[in-house]
Amino acid sequence: MDKIVVLDGFTANPGDISWDCFKKLGELTVYKRTPDNLVVERAKGARIAITNKTVFSKEIIEALPELEYIGVIATGYNVVDIEAAGRQGIVVTNVPGYSTESVVQTVFAHLLNLTQRVAQHSESVRAGDWVRSDDFCYWSGELVELSGKTFGIMGFGAIGQRVAAVASALGMRVICYSRTASKIDAAGYEAVNLEKLFAESDVLSLNCPLTAANAEVVNAENLKLMKSSAFLINTARGGLVNEADLAAALDSGILAGAGVDVLSTEPPQADNPLLEAKNCYITPHLAWATLEARQRLLRTAYQNVESFQKGLTVNRVN
């Protein structure tokens, strides 16, 4: 019977989903979290290791000669040294596409909060402002109607395409920037260059992977191209944003607001400038974490392992 170890199961499954299906596949041990200095000890003797964010470096992989499979319970697999795994004949899989609808939902949760000032007004009501009001209603700050505005999308993969569909359903003009402009045209949206994306977007949503080419693409130079009334939404990767530049743009009024679900370092450092920036709403990397998405995540992770044991690997990334 295969020894299976889950090294950091808590974030994907804090207890509201069962791991029992994995017990059908082998002798299962689940750890909530594993510090770097305990990875080798806990994975020793395992044929199958499951990780979310626990790192499998070259040194760790070489110290685990019995390991044949690393299953990443996430879409990104940068926590694994893919070359080292390949040299050792280790299969590495991921789980693509499980959270698309949930991430799209979070994009618009942030946008609707920024345009309708939901959190701000709820806090105001709790503070007694409506009770003391002379009128039947009030609002603090400008409220923004989305219909007729321009929604810009950076990236046109599965998430970007669904974001485009929802923005279009809200009556917005959709423009997109991607390396695959033909896909944008085929979907009936307008493909634009990067400068036009920043300059014309009333809302700019980042929905692309982080690469060396687009790291800190949201920077002082590009932010100056944007409308002072525009909003930035980032549910992709924190490294796409120069956080100091974005904080300065928000504090100086170059940009109206930002909704951010990801930061460059997670958990963030206490001195991250976005934590105190004006009109910046931050959620703790939760876009992927609806119950339904996490159920799909574990179900696919189970199917990945089951297929591996049958010699039919799916979702292999190396």
The residue whose two tokens read 């007729």 is 148
The SS3 call for residue 316 is: strand
Residue with the two structure tokens 């159920």:
295
Q: Which two tokens stand for residue 25?
A: 């596949």
Q: Which of 47, 237, 294, 296 is catalytic?
A: 237
Alpha carbon distance, N-terminus to C-terminus of the chain:
25
For every residue of 44-66, DSSP letters joined together read TT-SEEEESS--B-HHHHHT-TT
Identify the three-state secondary structure at position 101. Answer: helix
d(CA 206, CA 241): 10
Contacts of 138 (CB under 8 A, 6+ apart): 129, 130
The string over 175-189, giving b where at least 16 C-beta atoms fall within 10 Å of a residue's C-beta and e elsewhere, is: bbbbeeeebbeebeb
Q: Tell me whether residue 237 is one of the annotated catalytic residues.
A: yes
Sequence letter at residue 246: L
Is the distance from CB of 107 to CB of 235 less than 8 angstroms? yes
Written as six digits, the tokens of 301 are 């992770």
The residue behind tokens 């950076």 is 154
Q: Give me the catalytic one of 42, 121, 285, 299.
A: 285
Residue tagged active-site, from 123, 195, 266, 276:
266
266 a catalytic residue: yes
Residue 196, CB-side half-sphere exposure with 13 Å CA sphere: 9
Six-digit token pair at 200?
Answer: 């014309």
Task: Tell me how crowded residue 276 is: count the other CB atoms within 10 A of its CB.
Answer: 11
List, in sequence order, every residue forming a beta bridge with 316; answer none if it has no partner: 93
CB 232, CB 259: distance < 8 Å: yes
Residues marked active site are found at 237, 266, 285
